[in-house]
Amino acid sequence: MTSSLRVLGIDPGLTRCGVGIVDVDRSRRGTLVHVSVIRSSPDAEIGDRLAIVAAGIRDAIAEHRPDAVAVERVFAQQNTHTVMGTAQASGVALLIAAESGLPAATHTPSEVKAAVTGYGSADKRQVQAMIARILRLDAPPQPADAADALAIALCHAWRRGGAVAAQGALTPAQRAWAAAERVART
């Protein structure tokens, strides 16, 4: 068994798609491997924009060889145009994970926020601050899409790791996360 899990987290979007990769060891300690934002012009054709997102994700997988992929689950919002682009980028990410032979999962925004901050309704600044703290960074990742991608990766690694559940000890953030997951399933 390996001593750490490398997870590629993706905050899907057409204009800005966050890509974050972390290594998480058995003690749940996370280490930054890579973070970036794939950008495409809102004026470009949708197919070209999706190709840019796909190329960026493929490059990250080829360069960093993650063990798993985690994507933020698309949620309903008022702006249908935005949710469609997010859903399309999410589909591209999941397709590339499958083509690469990598297990993939989706996590809701409230699950991710609860995992890293202990509060499922945390704002972007709170998530950025906690990511900087968890990964021992000098400054919060910018823009927020980058921090969100890292949060998604950490959320997945902690959930998949199971080491904490096996030890029977949950942190306050993990208890809040478990509560957010229960709500999301209903």
Work out the burial of residue 162: count CB atoms within 10 Å of its CB; fewer than 13 is exposed, 13-18 middle, 19 or more buried.
Answer: exposed
27 C-beta neighbours (distance < 10 Å), count: 10
The rounded Cα 171 to chain-centroid distance in angstroms is 20
Contact yes or no for 29/154 (Cβ under 8 A):
no
| 3-state DSSP assignment of residue 66 | coil
| Beta strand ranges found along the chain (DSSP E) | 4-11, 16-25, 30-39, 68-72, 104-107
Active site (catalytic) residues: 11, 72, 145
Question: Can you count the helices (H) and strands (E) in the chain?
Answer: 7, 5
What's the alpha-carbon Rg for the chain, to the nearest Å?
16
In angstroms, rounded to a whole number, what is the distance separating the alpha carbons of residues 18 and 23?
17
